[in-house]
Amino acid sequence: MSATVSDLLLDWYDSHARALPWRAPPGASPTDAYRVWLSEVMLQQTTVAAVKPYFTKFTEIWPDVQALAAAPEDEVMAAWAGLGYYSRARNLVKAARAVAEMGGFPETEAELRKLPGLGEYTAAAVAAIAFGQRAVVVDANVERVVARLFAIEQPLPGARKAIREKADAITPDKRAGDFAQAMMDLGSSICTARDAKCLLCPLASKCEGRASGDPLRLPVKAKKKAKPQRSGTAFWIERDGAVWLIKRPGKGMLAGMRALPDDGWSARKDGDGEAPVEGAWKAAGVVRHGFTHADLELGVAVYAGDSKPQGTGEWWPLDRLDDAGLPTLFAKAARLVLAAR
């Protein structure tokens, strides 16, 4: 009997699995569900390299789900600053509190999906990796591997149903968590978006994309639409070794985060709000930042007067600015001003 896809892949994984701080070695007892869940939420649309220091920091401050559930949301948001997609952090706190009330994580994919922020992928990953449940785990890496393995010609996103069906067909009943992680590792190291290292791939003999002679054309992707461009201004007001920070509204872009005041760029095509104080402003330069829905050019203006800013805010000491948890956009603006000195 010839080896199955799962046999070949798990044999490869036993020797080539990545060592990651949230992962148990191949064949070992499953990792604690809290660590699996936390890592999977952090890894959404974020690289492993970027997540590692955040995961370490979070698990040092909040070593279990009960500790995270008891944490003030502001502290969690500040610790998350720089990872982006801040709704993940807000849902992280909500889900932790729900799990703490339950007395622990539910073990099935269906029950896990009821938690805030756990979609199809994350619930399947936690069910398979933490609880050994047979679940079909499909992230971007798995999507690419399966599309090439079965030479699925339909363009994304329409191909996702077929990809999931094929992924289901090759997912084993046993070691489903190791299989899911093996697929992720294969997609991140061998069957990558820019390369298909077929000579190193344990599934080469089964791969229809390789047999076609051009696996890199798969998965077929629809053309990306150009992102809209936005522009605006952030305002730097400094006094006695402190900078004026506001707290953004509870809904909308970067909701609930500390930030520099700005002119309303997040709500308009071009920012047209008023400066927080009248007087002389000096242009410090421009920072650029990409969001999922738009690209932004944000001018940074430095206040040269001594009037009190309008509205509600706080004076934050410059020597503790790293502790403010500024989102990446405003951290860039702060670095621009401070680097000019």
Residue burial 60-85, b: 16+ Cβ < 10 Å; e: rest: eebeebeebbebeeeebbbbbbebbe
Half-sphere exposure of 15 (CA within 13 A, CB side): 7
Strand bridging mode 229-236 / 295-303: parallel
User: For the chain, what's the residue count?
Assistant: 341
Strand bridging mode 242-247 / 238-239: antiparallel
Cα-only R_g, the chain = 23
Q: How many CB atoms lie within 10 A of CB 272?
A: 12
Question: What six digits make up the tokens of 71?
Answer: 């944490």
How far apart, in Å, are the Cα atoms of 178 and each of 14, 174, 183?
Answer: 9, 9, 9
Cα separation of 84 and 90, whole Å? 12
The yes-or-no answer on residue 238 being catalytic is: no
Residue whose C-alpha is closest to residue 296's, from 325, 263, 318: 263
* Beta-bridge partner residues of 303: 281
The dihedral over CA atoms of 225, 299, 329, 287, expressed in degrees to the nearest 10, equals 80
- Contacts of 44 by beta carbon, 8 Å cutoff, 6+ apart: 85, 88, 122
Which amino acid, 26? P
* Beta-bridge partner residues of 147: none
How far apart, in Å, are the Cα atoms of 109 and each of 38, 44, 341?
Answer: 16, 18, 53
Residue 56 DSSP SS3 = helix
Of 40, 109, 165, 278, the catalytic one is: 40
- Give me the active site residues, please: 40
